[in-house]
């Protein structure tokens, strides 16, 4: 075992808070062999539009008093969270049809946004609506109610919007089909 492997096996994350949301189950179904939309492809466009206006709360544990000071100066934040309802056996998937769509070729899990990954750390860029003490009210967070929050970072355009971004043709096509193309903010 290499030194890098032994160090990596010791990584331990401690949640800093949790998500309060009306989303109570994952939008994706995952098992040991596949991942797909829970409601099928037909509801994808409606789901994307509904998510864009969905408001939820990120509740930071009170033991981290002061950790949010200054966050309200930003319009958007990145929320890193753990999809706690994704089954452990789904974390061994190496390839998937993106969004469970058999019309798309199998892709390596790291070339998709699938939550079924070896370390399912997910990130969402969300609008920060308000802060009340240790509670952030945010818009467009896809996390399920009770999801552990790992970290929060301010959204900063100088390094999060690089020029010349290229996406896979299949991803562009999927986003266009659900009305969430590159030009949508």
CB atoms within 10 A of CB 75: 10
User: Which architecture characterizes domain 12-177 according to CATH?
Assistant: Beta Barrel (2.40)
- pLDDT tens for the chain, 185 residues long, are 566 666 667 788 899 999 999 999 876 655 545 555 554 445 556 667 778 889 999 999 999 999 999 999 999 999 999 999 888 887 888 888 887 788 888 999 999 888 888 888 999 999 999 999 999 999 999 999 999 999 999 999 887 778 888 889 988 888 888 776 544 33
pLDDT for position 8: 61
- CA–CA separation, 45 and 10 (whole Å): 40
CB atoms within 10 A of CB 52: 14
Residues 79, 152: contact at Cβ < 8 Å? yes
pLDDT for position 28: 60
pLDDT for position 183: 42
pTM, two decimal places: 0.82
* Strand ranges for 22-175 from DSSP E: 28-30, 35-37, 55-60, 76-81, 95-96, 107-108, 122-132, 135-139, 148-154
C-alpha to C-alpha distances, 170 to 62, 101, 151, 173, nearest whole angstrom: 43, 11, 30, 5
Q: Where are the domains of the chain?
A: 12-177
The continuous run of DSSP H or E covering 124 comes out as: strand 122-132
pLDDT for position 184: 39
Instruction: Say which residue the tokens 């100066």 belong to.
Output: 73
């Amino acid at each position: 075992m290499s030194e890098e492997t032994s160090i990596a096996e010791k990584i331990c994350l401690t949640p800093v808070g949790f998500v309060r949301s009306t989303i109570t189950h994952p939008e994706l179904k995952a098992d040991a062999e596949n991942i797909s939309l829970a409601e099928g492809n037909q509801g994808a466009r409606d789901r994307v539009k509904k998510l864009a206006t969905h408001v939820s709360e990120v509740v930071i544990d009170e033991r981290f008093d002061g950790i949010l000071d200054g966050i309200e100066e930003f319009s958007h934040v990145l929320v890193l969270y753990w999809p706690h309802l994704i089954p452990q056996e789904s974390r061994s998937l190496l390839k998937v049809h993106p969004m469970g769509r058999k019309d798309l070729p199998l892709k390596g899990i790291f070339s998709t946004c699938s939550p079924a990954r070896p370390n399912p750390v997910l990130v969402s860029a969300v609008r920060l609506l308000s802060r009340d003490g240790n509670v952030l009210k945010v818009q467009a967070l896809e996390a399920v109610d009770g999801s552990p929050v790992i970290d929060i970072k301010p959204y900063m355009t100088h390094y999060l919007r690089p020029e010349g971004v290229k996406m896979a043709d299949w991803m562009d096509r999927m986003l266009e089909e659900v009305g969430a193309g590159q030009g949508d903010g």
